[in-house]
Structure 1
Amino acid sequence: MTVPQTESLNLPATMEPDNPLWRYALACWQNPELAEACLTLQACDWSVTRILCAGWLGVNGHLFTGVEDAKVTEWRSRVTGSIRSARKSIPRHHIGCRDLREALAQAELQAEQTELALAWHTLTPRYPETGNMHNRKAAILQNLLAAAPRRDTDTQASVSMDTLAGLLAAAAGEPQP
């Protein structure tokens, strides 16, 4: 079987893998409830990168339009998604493939870091450090609606979205009612 060769992606030379959006993602992932809310939405076809961008912009008082640069979506489709698909194809508890599955999990994490670096590269020219949205939870919730893969979010996604917005707002120091 011959596999067609795909052209290499044209990535920006000034991309910063260790940037504030990546550090925000790492900090969010330290909260198990927050990570679980992200994974619940991911199971409903959400992009965790879009979730994190929506949260990060909301925490900083900005609205997210939901529009992403083509480089981000192309990377997600061609690289991150392909690695994730390969990892998920390998049975979790298959001893003979454990090392390969773990290597793919590490590659997936690196692909996600690059995806966030691409997002950061395109977001920073558009948004100054802080915006004028004062109610962080409302901004985050509005941003998550813009990040949704469909406008008709199901109940499970809506519950997770509200939970996630509250967790992100609390992490930013805003008291919950």
Structure 2
Amino acid sequence: MSSDLWSFSLSTYARPGVEQACLQLQSAGVNVCLLLCAAWLGQRGVACNEQRLQQLRSVAEPWDNDVVQPLRALRTQWKTIAMLDADLHGLREQVKTLELEAERHLLLRLERSAQGWPQEKGTDLSAWLEGVAAGAAHLDRDALRQLRVAVSGT
């Protein structure tokens, strides 16, 4: 695949509206790293199927539950009090850095998992995004469309 998933994720997340769309989807229960991986695969024309979706979920879910979520919960828990305590603010920033590093490792794991999947001529972006978001509570279709547009340009 031409570009690594981490670089793709950083450049995609920096596009207008993507951060907000991802946060809305995250609040509905969608794993943002899995969503960015899906966008990356879809943009490259990798065919989406249930077996591949399940393989990616089996990589993402344990790491997200055991590593990313506890760091995010701690960072969120400290948000208000850290505004009043400079020492805690510094620790919170370190936790934030660790959380981002944990997400980078998750993206690397997802990329390795999908490494041998062949690229085809057409794109399968919508199928990937819908597949990853399936089952999310109160799915924000506008946020999903915003991400699709940001990645595909259409």
Overall identity of the aligned pairs, in %: 23
Which residue pairs with 1:107 in the alignment?
Answer: 98
Retained in 1: the 8 A contact 2:12–2:150?
A: no
* RCO comparison, higher one (Cα < 8 Å, 6+): 2
Describe the SS at the equivalent of 2:121.
Answer: coil
CA pair 78-44 structure 1, distance change in 2 beyond 3 A: same
Whichever residue aligns with residue 145 of structure 1, its letter is E
Post-superposition CA distance 1:86-111 (Å, at most 9, x none): 11111245231211111111000000
- Measure how far apart 1:72 and its partner are: 3.0
Retained in 2: the 8 A contact 1:69–1:122?
A: no
Structure 1: where are the runs of 5+ without partners? 1-18, 171-175
Q: TM-score, normalised by structure 2?
A: 0.84
Which residue pairs with 1:25 in the alignment?
Answer: 9
Which residue pairs with 2:140 in the alignment?
Answer: 157
Structure 2: where are the runs of 5+ without partners? none
Q: TM-score, normalised by structure 1?
A: 0.74
Identify, as 1 or 2, the structure richer in helix. 2
Which residue pairs with 1:145 in the alignment?
Answer: 130
Q: How many residues align?
A: 145
CA RMSD of aligned residues (A): 1.9
1:37 to 4, 17, 21: 21
